Amino acid sequence: MDMEYNNFLHYSTRLLMSDVLGDVYVELSKQKSANSRFMFTRALLRKHKILVPTLDVDIEYDHPIMSTSLRQNGNVFFKAKLYAAAADMYTKSLTGCDPSTEYYALAMANRSAAHFHMGQYERCLNDARCALGSNNYPSKLAYKLYERAGHAERMLDLVEQAKESYAICLTRLDESDLSVENKRKFRTAVEKAATECEELLTERKRTMKTPPVEHLVGGKNKNIPALSAFVELKMSENMGRGVYATRDINPGK
């Protein structure tokens, strides 16, 4: 049966699952002519096997059983610290569910954790934000994503954003189903991380306000503290009264 794939969601979902959608937007914006845009798009669809002749026309995008099974397989890899394999399995899990479902949000959240452990902090943050942007992500788990987002932001030196993520994490902690003791321990750890962010921001502000200390070659001049000890104020028959070096001083010193 002939099918026309003119649905933007169909293509963007496939590219998002491959974790390249952001790069596609950037590269497409660089194409200056209709011909270059066409060739770029054609090559892109062929690379990701979504040209019409190779489309999976029978794929079921809303298949909870398949999605859950793949995600659980990813969890097995994750527990074994095989994070790349886990991320790949979570990506496959995304092909089995519609982006508006809880299954999709869960797989995206799990992939963010795998990316974090691989040191891919930007990808971790993108996946975490995508999961949190879903209305179907379980509210009882939101605190974990905000904590992870905060950790990733700290690693990316986005300290102010990390502080905000930790603050939201603490407000969402009450929605979790953790035991009272585990909730107390978790809150203590996040509060410590938030405090470290605050201390770092305070130190940065202090450093910005403190003028750099200039070290004069040879130390300070006893008569003119702003000048080097290697100069002196005197009268010259040829040049008149002025400041003269008493020895060679390298340029820039």
Q: For residue 49, what are its two tokens?
A: 């096997």
- Asked whether residue 72 is domain-assigned, the answer is yes
pLDDT value at residue 187: 96
Concatenated DSSP letters of 33-87: SHHHHHHHHHHHHHHTT-SGGG--TT--S--HHHHHHHHHHHHHHHHTT-HHHHH
So what's the pLDDT on residue 33?
78
Within-domain flag for 34: yes
SS3 21: helix
**Per-residue CA distances from 221 to 41, 212, 236, 239 (Å):** 69, 19, 19, 21
80, 27: one domain: no
What's the angle, vertex CA 96, arms to CA 39 and CA 142, rounded to 5? 105
Closest CA to 140 of 163, 113, 96, 109: 109
70 inside domain: yes
| 78 in the same domain as 201 | yes
The answer on 196 and 105 residing in a single domain is: yes
Q: What is the pLDDT of residue 12?
A: 67
| Number of structural domains in the chain | 3
How many CB atoms are closer than 10 A to CB 241?
A: 9
Q: Nearest 5 degrees, angle CA 72-CA 76-CA 79?
A: 130
Asked whether the beta carbons of 109 and 131 are under 8 A apart, the reply is yes
- Note whether 172 and 71 are same-domain residues: yes
The pLDDT of residue 211:
60
What pLDDT score was predicted for residue 248? 67
Query: In the prediction, which pLDDT does 165 show?
Result: 96
Assigned domain for 41 exists:
yes
The verdict on 96 and 31 lying in the same domain is no
Q: In the prediction, which pLDDT does 4 show?
A: 43
Whether the Cβ atoms of residue 78 and residue 106 lie closer than 8 Å to each other: no
Distance, in Å, from the CA atom of 153 to the CA atom of 129, rounded to the nearest integer, reads 12
> Could you tell me if residue 3 is inside a domain?
no
Say if residue 136 is in the same domain as residue 34. no
Same domain, 178 and 235: no
> Mean pLDDT per segment of 10 residues, for the chain of length 253 residues?
48 72 76 76 74 48 74 93 94 82 92 97 94 90 96 95 96 94 96 94 80 64 67 67 67 55
Q: Model's pTM, two decimal places? A: 0.60
The predicted pLDDT at position 137 comes to 92
Dist CA 250 CA 216 (whole Å): 12
* Same domain flag for 246 and 154: no
CATH number, domain containing residue 95: 1.25.40.10
Residue 1 in domain: no
Residue span of the structural domain in which 225 resides: 212-253
Q: How far apart are CA 68 and CA 96, in angstroms?
A: 8
Look at residue 57 in the predicted model and tell me its pLDDT: 42
Statement to judge: residues 219 and 203 lie in one domain: no
Is 109 among the domain residues?
yes
What gap in Å lies between CA 76 and CA 97, rounded to an integer? Answer: 20
Examine the domain organization and report whether 83 and 147 are in the same domain.
yes
Could you give the CA distance from residue 114 to residue 90 in angstroms, rounded to a whole number?
9
Question: Same structural domain for residues 192 and 232?
Answer: no
Residue 160 lies in a domain: yes
Q: Indicate if 40 and 140 belong to the same structural domain.
A: no
Dist. CA 39–CA 168, nearest whole Å: 44
Domain boundary among the residues 194, 209, 224 is at 209
d(CA 158, CA 197): 10
